[in-house]
Amino acid sequence: MLNEKKALRSRLLAERAAMSPEERQAASNALASEALALASAGNVRTVACYVSMGSEPGTRPLLDALRAAGMHVLLPVLLPDNDLDWAAYEGSELLAPARLGLLEPTGPRLGPAAVAAADLVLLPGLAVDPATGVRLGRGGGSYDRVLARLAAAGSPALLVTLLFDGELVEGLPAEPHDRPVDAVVTPQRTLRFD
């Protein structure tokens, strides 16, 4: 199963890398509109998101749109053990370079459990199985810990993966620790799972 996940990750990352900067920017803008509509329809007050990097679907327009809509936005801060702490997003000018090429908020750290205050948790991923909601991440385990923490806290947060169109993959390999998400947002649509 690990080899199958590794091969899938390589293929999906290569497909993302083949996109032009213009395609990526257009997708980021459309993704922001879709995700903002989802958050606005759900009466969301607090959103946990992330700052996209590399070829990931861009979250920069979304972060500013969520904040402009009056939502409190939490961003992850990578800890040495790859777990995630959280801090408030106060604007792109208050993001600083961090480990692994990440950008992180410079404000006070709120602790790993702060994510449980979110009504909506937007997760990075490479693919989601449309039949099961199982998400394929990059393999670092940071967001697996977040999902486990949310489950342990009994969080009612809506769990949503942000993807490019075409990254819904049937039959994704799943391990016992893989927790399904509730929905996927792509530049073209929002897909909710039962």
Annotated binding site for ATP: 5-9, 135-143
Look up residue 161 and give its two tokens: 């993966």
Q: Residues within the annotated binding site for substrate?
A: 51, 56
The one-character DSSP state at 179 is -
Cα 5 from Cα 144, distance rounded (Å): 15
Look up residue 49 and give its two tokens: 């998101």
Q: Residues within the annotated binding site?
A: 5-9, 51, 56, 135-143
185 exposed, middle or buried (CB, 10 Å; 0-12, 13-18, 19+)? buried
User: Which amino acid, one-letter code, is at 96?
Assistant: A
Residue pair 88/105 in contact by the 8 Å Cβ criterion: yes
